[in-house]
Amino acid sequence: MIIRKATISDIPQILSIYNYEVLNSSSTFDTRPKSTEDFLKLFDMHSYKYPIYVVEDGTNSIIGYGYLSPFSDKEGYSITVEDSIYIHHLHRGKGIGKMLLKFLIQKAREKGFKNIIAKICAENQPSLNLHKSLGFVEVGKLYSVGYKFNRYLDVIILQLNL
């Protein structure tokens, strides 16, 4: 497996991974599948400072992707980023998420960030466990801030000081 910067040609595979989550999980609070145009905008927002990275298996298939984003557009928060990671549903539990999150943590350190924030649905125990295994600490909980699949969802906020 390799991790590399995503390219525009990766969008169909990235979109497939993401839209599966939209339709089948609470790992995103999006409720409608995204289009290629939506992901082109995401690519535009993630310039040099915040590239999107993909994980490829040995067959050039993308089995996961992730990126860092600004935590806020306010200048005083410029030392803090938020992580996003999505692993293809057929490739979970193989250490891919851990490899990708370690990679993103290293990239955040290299770019001089001081904190990474993760906002994770409280029912997404695998993601909570992953983040905690790499040193993220729970710093808060937001109750019933999301609504998907006819139920209210809580969000756990985790933080890693770099």
Q: Which domains are delineated in the chain?
A: 2-161 (3.40.630.30)
Read off the pLDDT of residues 1-40 as tens digits, 9 standing for 90 and up: 899 999 899 999 999 999 999 999 999 999 999 999 888 8
Read off the pLDDT of residues 48-59 as tens digits, 9 standing for 90 and up: 778 999 999 878
Read off the pLDDT of residues 68-105 as tens digits, 9 standing for 90 and up: 999 998 999 999 999 999 999 999 999 999 999 999 99
pLDDT band at 116, cuts 50/70/90?
very high
Q: Two tokens at 87?
A: 């692993």
| Percent share of the chain, pLDDT over 90 | 84
Number of alpha carbons in the 13 Å side-chain half-sphere of residue 102: 8
Contact 105, 131 (CB under 8 A): no
Which strands, in side-by-side order, build the sheet including 151-161? 2-5, 52-56, 62-70, 80-87, 115-121, 151-161, 137-148
Strand partners, 152: 147
